[in-house]
Amino acid sequence: MARPTPLSGFPEWLPDGRIVEQHVLDTLRRTFELHGFAGIETRAVEPLDQLLRKGETSKEVYVLRRLQEEGEDGGKDSRLGLHFDLTVPFARYVLENAGHLAFPFQRYQIQKVWRGERPQDGRFREFVQADIDVVGAGDLPYHYEVDLPLVMAEALGALRGIGVPEVRILVNNRRVAEGFYRGIGLDDVEAVLRSIDKLDKIGPEKVAALLVAEAGATETQARACLDLAAISGSDATVIDRVRALAASHGVDSELMEQGLSELGQLIEAAAVRAPGVVVADLKIARGLDYYTGSVYETVLVGHEQLGSICSGGRYDTLASDGANTYPGVGLSIGVSRLVSRLISAGLVTATRSVPAAVLVAVANEDTRPASDAVATALRSRGIPVEVAPTAAKFGKQIKHADRRGIPFVWFPGADGPDQVKDIRSGEQVDADAATWAPSDEDRWPRVVPAAG
């Protein structure tokens, strides 16, 4: 068989990388559950017409062509695609199960998604996302737009101990943007938002040209949009600066004032509950059409070139069956993007790449049952154990443990007590499988900041 060629955009971690990923997932899950979010999982496929509701991302959908029942015509309405985020499937889940859910419904969801985009640093075609959302029936109080980014800040902050860089959550409010844009005479708000969303990628000059070409803006209107996008800060002066800019252009908008009031509440609450983490940034647009209120993007301080690792916002009409509407707010962490940076930048490491804390040596194959019995006794007490694969010389068995990062080797006693050796220090002591235990730090592999 020829040597296989890796597929670009489909990450596969080595065992120590998987330990890092699992630690991140466990930390996120634990934080979400501390805040009362219930875990769910949705199917991997959705009807293509539902996935295409997101507009310009339609070219990124992986379409399944061989899961149709016999006799189906294979038309667009019957085709299925792999979900490329967890928000659209969640909206469908809410509509299908509304009669069985208690609202407001808080859920977290950790699954793989698939997106047919060009692979690059931190961008994959198959990756893990971790989402939290709160959905209401008919209405959803604004305070959830404050609460959710702070939950996410707490979840990411819980990873600081292993070497995850500090995060900044950049926030804006769609009502501010829409009120301002309409106030200066631009009615194609979605086109403006899509253009502003590209600021970090293509720069202000090209965005200004896009605003003129695609949103119908004059050069003066385009400059006003860029001036709004340039406003940022972590205190209430941001609100004053937006009002001053609006006044200079003769903008008087109730919608903008509502958005500014909400943005101010978020900034004030964040200053108390997560000082320095949340920053108002008026260029945050989130180009997706369904966002209606607060929008969020999160960057790693010192790794801003990676782009946002966590984003989301308020949506009012995504989950609606015509008669009932379930507004929500949510954020999504690109777990694979985060883990890839932690590994590639050498920010974190695992203390070992295997679960086992102990290797039980085998003197010869006739005594393997005795070694197996020791392993069974240790495992019954929650200690992860391997038994040596062969009855080689003890020196080779110790080297085998060392290569795998296993800290202890257990020697069953033939005529005397068992002994256990810490192969890092060389200390060897008598031991009883019914009572001996490694330290808490050695029992399981840990994720720690990388040295240096």
CATH number for the domain that contains residue 445:
3.40.50.800
pLDDT of residue 320: 86
Structural tokens at position 154: 């707490």
Using CA atoms, how far apart are residues 404 and 410, in angstroms rounded to an integer? Answer: 15
Return the closest-CA partner of residue 210 out of 192, 228, 223: 192
| Cis upstream peptide for 417 (omega within 30°) | no
37-46, 53-62, 399-408: the lowest-pLDDT one: 53-62
**Span 90-104, mean pLDDT?**
95
Q: Is the pLDDT of residue 67 over 50?
A: no
Q: Name the most confidently modeled range: 46-60, 207-221, 297-311.
A: 207-221
| 106 appears as a binding residue in the annotation | no
Q: Is residue 48 included in any domain, yes or no? A: no
pLDDT of residue 247: 96
Domain that holds residue 364: 358-449
| 92 appears as a binding residue in the annotation | no
Plot region of 337 (φ>0 → left; ψ -120 to 50 → alpha; else → beta): alpha
CB 18 within 8 A of CB 128: no
| 286 appears as a binding residue in the annotation | yes
| 133 appears as a binding residue in the annotation | yes
431 vs 61, residue with greater confidence = 431
Using CA atoms, how far apart are residues 140 and 134, in angstroms rounded to an integer? Answer: 8
Q: Is residue 221 included in any domain, yes or no? A: no
| 227 appears as a binding residue in the annotation | no
Domain count, the chain: 1
Q: Is residue 381 included in any domain, yes or no? A: yes
User: What is the SS3 assignment for 115?
Assistant: coil
Q: What residue has token string 């900034």?
A: 267
Q: Is the pLDDT of residue 398 over 80?
A: yes
CB 383 within 8 A of CB 438: yes
Q: Is residue 400 included in any domain, yes or no? A: yes
Average pLDDT, the chain: 91
| 290 appears as a binding residue in the annotation | yes
pLDDT of residue 59: 66
| 108 appears as a binding residue in the annotation | no
Q: Is the pLDDT of residue 218 over 60?
A: yes
Return the closest-CA partner of residue 110 out of 133, 94, 76, 140: 133
Return the closest-CA partner of residue 333 out of 47, 106, 29, 5: 29
Q: Is the pLDDT of residue 69 over 80?
A: no
Using CA atoms, how far apart are residues 233 and 173, in angstroms rounded to an integer? Answer: 14
Using CA atoms, how far apart are residues 149 and 136, in angstroms rounded to an integer? Answer: 17
The CA-atom distances, in angstroms, between 290 and each of 103, 108, 127, 313, 334 are 21, 20, 23, 9, 20
Q: Is residue 182 included in any domain, yes or no? A: no
Using CA atoms, how far apart are residues 337 and 308, in angstroms rounded to an integer? Answer: 9
**Span 395-412, mean pLDDT?**
97
For residue 198, with 0-12 CB atoms within 10 Å meaning exposed, 13-18 middle and 19 or more buried, which class applies? Answer: middle
Q: Is residue 365 included in any domain, yes or no? A: yes
pLDDT > 90: what percent of the chain?
74
Q: Is residue 392 included in any domain, yes or no? A: yes
| 442 appears as a binding residue in the annotation | no
**Span 115-140, mean pLDDT?**
91
Using CA atoms, how far apart are residues 87 and 329, in angstroms rounded to an integer? Answer: 10
Q: Is residue 256 included in any domain, yes or no? A: no
- pTM of the complete model: 0.89
